[in-house]
Every structure is written in structure tokens, then in C-alpha cells.
A = this chain, B = another copy of it.
Amino acid sequence: MQKEQIQILETSIIRLLRRGANRQLLNIIKKTHMADLSIVFENLTPLNQEKLFNLLENPEDIGLLFSHLPENTFVELVKIVDFDKLVTVFNNMPSDDAAELLGCLDEELSDKILSKMQKEESYNVEQIMSYDEDTAGSLMVKDYVALAEDVKAKEVIEALQNKYLDVEMPFYIYVIDNYGKLVGVSSLRQLVVESPDKPLKLFMATDIVSVKPYTDREVVARLVSRYDYLAIPVVDDDNRIIGIVTVDDVIDILHETATEDMLKMAGVGENYVETQTIIKGTRIRMPWLLASCCGGIANSFVIGGFESTLAKFTGLVAFIPIIMGMGGNIGTQSATIMVRGIATGQVNIRDFTKMLTKELGVGFILGMVYGTLIGSVAKFRFMTESSSWALASSVSISIVAAMSVAALVGTTVPLVFERLNIDPAVATGPFVTTFMDLSSVYCYFTISKILLGF
């Protein structure tokens, strides 16, 4: 559904809720995808949310709704849901979704739910919950098809009709040996083409890409997108398959990591959520501004050191913001290009010298262009002063220096961070911009002091 259609859906649901027209509401629910209903749901008043929720009967629908709701809406909603209903819902949910949602609830409640769930289900969910949040293990589902090498094509199809009836999307048929080790893979597409009596081992592919449960989720995403897979198997250290990560989870990873990177680049911290309260938001953002604060205080001392120069040439002050601004902007450009290049794999450390030369070149040329331009403005402003040429040259040269240094720093820091295994996205945040401010101002006053002959 597009935005407008969801808007219409919302209006009708609110009207029907007011009229208590439950039959029509049930009809709408039946026809609406839970992903759409969740958007409407979020915008309802708590009372309307409760009314609408009570109309939902199918535990699978409820599970889908849960996993599409934002975390805090879900946590609020759970409070009004009957406990037994909750257990049924979690029993019918894919184990990775169940694990994620239970992780949002307080421990007491989630333990209580787990203890009432079916043994096999709760075992799977607990296994997934035991892995770190950013790993393949925390994303995997247990719904996969794994059969022995000797199973024939027609028997695979029979298995799909019976034993694996609840595996929703069996894109791939994994082939295992007697020890449960992953030895091959085939696809549903291939199955319908092969002659019915051919055993899997004769047509399976044996070059399998797999990940470990502790593999970082960004690596999983990279593999799936590079090879255009629909799912990737997760194997333990003995190469026994223990789950799969499907492409829809990879899409979620891409969304989340892009968001995290942007927030880190802006210096907000990766876990910032828009729906937080003022107090929480303040607490998360406070430490990131500390870098900027300390740098600024340092800067005030740098400027203090040049007070005698300033007292004589007050006009110099007017160009502090532009020098800082030009340096800051080009530094952010270079750093962002690097950070994103590293994230998408288009830049790697071996290109270091090449990238550095290029960015330094860009910084220098842009510095010359804008330095000349801004220098002319300065010459015009200082027209009446005796040392107008020296003042204007100070501004010009400082712009060239500040922009070249900023391009250099913006390029180097992300690559160095990557090398040190620190997330390069942090590099464009307050830390680096503050450093650039400091160096721009320092360049400016040092150059002015020299040219004005102190």
C-alpha cells in the first residue's frame, strides 16, 4: 500500500471503531497485510489500539503485527494482552522474530513466556537469544530443509509436502552427510527440472558459502548481496547446519546499519531512536558533544595566545568563521566519501596513497579557488588599512592551508580507524570536526602573525 491508501485505511478504521462496527472491521483486517495494519495501529489512541487488537484472533497475524510494530508500542501493547494468548502467539512465530521480541520485554516476563512455550520452540528461541545481537546466530531461523545425499528428487518433493510443510520459503534444499555436515545445496527451482529418480548428490552444488553463528551480521549482509542469495546457511564449527539467515533479514540489516552509520557520522550514537523521551535523548547525545566542547575550549586558549595580534588587527576576527566553515565542510566531504567507500567495499586500505593524493589534490585546488575568492573579499574589506595586502593574503593562504589539511585529515582518519578496527563512521563525527576547527584556527593565526610581521 502507498502512503495515501494507508491514510484512507486509517480513516475508515477509526470511523468503524467509533461506531463499533466489528463485522466490517474483521473484514478489513482479513484483507489487510499486517505490515500495513501496524502503521495504522501506531497512530491510534491506546483505547482504539486495545479495541482493534481484541478483534485479532489468528496468532500468526498477531505475531506479524508484533514484529512490525516499533519496540515501545509493542512493549506497551503486551501489557494488555492475555498471557495465554501471548504464549500461543510466540509458539507460532518464526524463532528469530520471537527471540528479538522477547529480548525487548523485561526478563521476568520473557522467562515466564519461554517456560510456557512448546519445548522445541522455546529451545530454538533460547538458542538464538544466546547469540550476540550483531551476529548471524541472532538472525537465523530454524525453518530450513536438510536432507541426505541419497534422497531422490521426487522424495524431496514429498518431504516438502509432508515433513517440511511449515517451512515457509524453502528456496534451497541443503544436503547433509551422515554426521549432519553440510555437503551440498540444491534449489526448489532445480528440483522441478531434474528427473524424479535422480538423487540429490548427483545434481547438488558443492561450492557452498556458509557463515558461523558468531559471524558479524554485516559480513552476512555483504555475502548475501554479493552473491544474490536468498538465504545463507549457518553452520557450527563442525560444519553442521544449525539455521539459515534469509534475504528479508539481510534487508533489515542493511536498513539498520545504514541508520547506525549515519547516526555515528552525525555524532549521535548508533542506538538513537526517534521515539525516545527528552531525558533519554539528552543523555545519549550529551557525551558526543563533549568532544566538541573540549575542542572548543582548547580553541579558546589557542586564540587567547594570539590576543596581541588580534588587539592590533580586529578585522582578522571577521574571517574566523569562514575559515573554520570551509575547512569543516571539505573535511566532512572527504571523510564521508571514505567512510561510505569503506562500508560498500569500494575503497580499501591498499588504495591509501592513491586516495590521499587525490583528496589532497581536490582540497588544494578547491582551496586555491575559494582562497582567491575569499581573499579578494578580504582585500576589499580591509581597503582602508595600511596592511590590507598582508591581511588579505593571510586569509587566502589560510583557506588553502585549512582546506588541504582538512581534506588530508578527513581521508586519513577513517582509513586509520578501519585499520585499528574502530568503526570509521565515528570519524566524521564531533571528534574529527573539532580537530579540524582547531587546526584551521591555528593555521590562520600563525600565518597572519608571520605575514603581519610580529
Contact in complex: A346, B274 (CB < 8 Å): yes
Contact in complex: B292, A337 (CB < 8 Å): no
Contact in complex: A282, B366 (CB < 8 Å): yes
Contact in complex: B355, A274 (CB < 8 Å): yes
A356-392 interface mask toward B, CB cutoff 8 Å, 1 = contact, 0 = none?
0010011001100110011001100100000000000
Report A82 CB to chain B, min CB distance, Å: 28
If A311-B314, A321-B437, A324-B324 touch, does A333 touch B267 (CB 8 Å cutoff)?
A: yes
Chain A: interface size category: 35 or more
For A233, the chain B residues whose CB sits under 8 A away are none
Taking CB atoms and an 8 Å cut-off, the chain A residues in 246-286 that contact chain B are 247-248, 250-252, 254-255, 258-259, 261-263, 265-268, 272-275, 277-278, 281-282, 285-286
For A160, the chain B residues whose CB sits under 8 A away are 189, 192-193
For A40, the chain B residues whose CB sits under 8 A away are none
State whether the Cβ of A99 lies closer than 8 Å to any Cβ in chain B: no
State whether the Cβ of A322 lies closer than 8 Å to any Cβ in chain B: yes
Docked Cα-Cα span, A229 to B122, in Å, equals: 27
Contact of A35 among B226, B304, B428 (CB under 8 A): B226
How many copies of this chain sit in the oligomeric assembly?
Answer: 2
Q: List 12 A-B contacts (CB under 8 A).
A: A160-B189, A188-B189, A285-B330, A285-B333, A289-B329, A296-B319, A296-B325, A299-B322, A299-B325, A310-B317, A314-B314, A328-B328
Residues of A near any B CB (own CB < 8 A): 1-2, 31, 33, 35-36, 39, 43, 70, 157, 160-161, 165, 168-171, 188-189, 191-193, 207, 209, 219, 224-228, 230, 247-248, 250-252, 254-255, 258-259, 261-263, 265-268, 272-275, 277-278, 281-282, 285-286, 288-289, 292-293, 295-297, 299-301, 303-304, 307, 310-311, 314-315, 317-326, 328-330, 332-333, 335-337, 339-341, 344-347, 350, 355, 358, 361-362, 365-366, 369-370, 373-374, 377-378, 381, 428, 430, 433-434, 437, 441
7 smallest beta-carbon distances between A and B, as pairs: A296-B322, A266-B336, A258-B258, A300-B318, A278-B361, A228-B248, A299-B321
